Amino acid sequence: MKQIMLITDGCSNVGDSPVMAAALARQEGITVNVIGIVDYGTIGELGSLEISEIAKAGGGMSRIAGTENLAQTMQMLTRKTVVQTIQHAVNKEIRHILGDQTVGDLPPETRSQVVEVIDELSESSPLQVALLIDASASMKPKLRAVEEAIRDMMLSLSSRAGESKLAVFHFPGSHSGEDAVLDVDWTEDLGAARSIFQRIAMRGATPTGPAILKVMEFIQYGTLNGHGKSWREETDGQDGILGGYVV
């Protein structure tokens, strides 16, 4: 199972639509979850709306969190979406076998057995989580809480029975046109995320859409160097999740 966990205050302002990018990630089997650390007022309202739309397009969940409960929110979202992904697959199989039924339609005894299997699979299935962190200027006061939450996240993942790997990215990069930067490659090492933010140069732009696309390519191809076609090339002249999506 593959997830992108985006942490942002919303209001992207550079490049492709983050909603479109999340929709493409979902099409490629990558769930996009979003945690918002938003400000008050109109900017916060706009940010919250974008956060919700990104998660909806990416087949994931969104939550607005304060810095004090960020780590708890990240852990909860990760585990909930793992269960959601497995339950969706189980429901699909049940419909295939029994027709138009879901887990909730099964007899109580059978349903409890299926739920138990879902719980076991949630803990034992391999999991990859790519954390994508908004490091634009408005996020600067919040990054210490994000760094602490990452360490807690790694501890939580290590408690699972199945293999859990975490990678960490931030955006934008320090150079022009650098949409996302890899800070920690796939790892199960709990110490790998220590003090990563000492290397981050805060910038004003927020290229959330391009950053999601870069991380999606990394999950698929293991590189941020742009292998594969862009989503415009992939969807040129086609209908479907991107062709018919309205932001």
pLDDT tens digits, 172-207: 877 766 788 888 888 887 566 555 656 666 666 788
Q: Tell me the residue range of the domain where 206 lies.
A: 2-235
Q: Over the range 65-75, which residues count as b (16 or more CB within 10 Å of their CB) and which as e?
A: beeeebbebbb
CA torsion angle 86 185 177 230 (round to 10)? -40
Query: Is the whole-model pTM more than 0.85?
Result: no
Asked if residue 245 is part of any domain, the answer here is: no
Determine, yes or no, domain membership for 75: yes
Residue 242 lies in a domain: no
Within a domain: residue 247? no
246 within some domain: no
Phi then psi dihedrals of residue 171, to 5 deg: -145, 150
Q: Would you say residue 243 lies in a domain? A: no
State the total domains in the chain: 1
CATH of the domain at 145: 3.40.50.410
- pLDDT for residue 11 is more than 60: yes
In a domain, 240, yes or no: no
For residue 132, what are its two tokens? Answer: 């994508």
In a domain, 60, yes or no: yes
Angle, CA 81 vertex, CA 80 and CA 86 arms, to 5°: 105
pLDDT in tens, 63-89: 887 777 777 888 788 878 887 878 777
